[in-house]
Amino acid sequence: MKKLYKSALLVSLSATATLVFAQSATDDIAKYREMIADGNPAELYEAAGEDLWKKPMGPKNASLEKCDLGKGPGVVKGAAAELPRYFKDTNKVQDLESRILTCMERLQGYDPKEIISAGFEKGKRKDVEAIVAYVVTAAKGHTINISTKHPKEKEMYQMGKYAFYFQGGPMDFSCASCHGEDGKRIRLQDLPNLIEQKGAALGYGAWPAYRVSSGNFWTMQRRLNDCYRQQRFPEPIYTSDVTIALQVFMGANGNGGKMNTPGLKR
CA dist., res. 169 & res. 228, Å (int): 10
* 227 belongs to the catalytic site: yes
CA dist., res. 20 & res. 126, Å (int): 42
- Going by pLDDT thresholds of 50, 70 and 90, the confidence category of residue 33 is low
pLDDT of 187 reads 65
Q: Which DSSP state fits 82?
A: G
**pTM of the complete model:** 0.86
Phi and psi at residue 34, to the nearest 5°:
-65, -40
- CA–centroid distance for 171 within its chain: 23
For the stretch 61-85, pLDDT in tens is 999 999 999 999 999 999 999 999 9
Closest among 43, 26, 47 to 266, alpha carbons compared = 26
Q: Which amino acid is at 42?
A: A
pLDDT of 189 reads 74
CB 200 within 8 A of CB 257: yes
Q: Is the peptide bond before 41 cis (omega within 30 degrees of 0)?
A: no
CA dist., res. 193 & res. 18, Å (int): 23
For the stretch 96-131, pLDDT in tens is 999 999 999 999 999 999 999 999 999 999 999 999
pLDDT of 11 reads 45
Check 103, 175, 178, 227 and give the catalytic one: 227
* pLDDT for 27 beyond 80: no
* pLDDT for 2 beyond 60: no
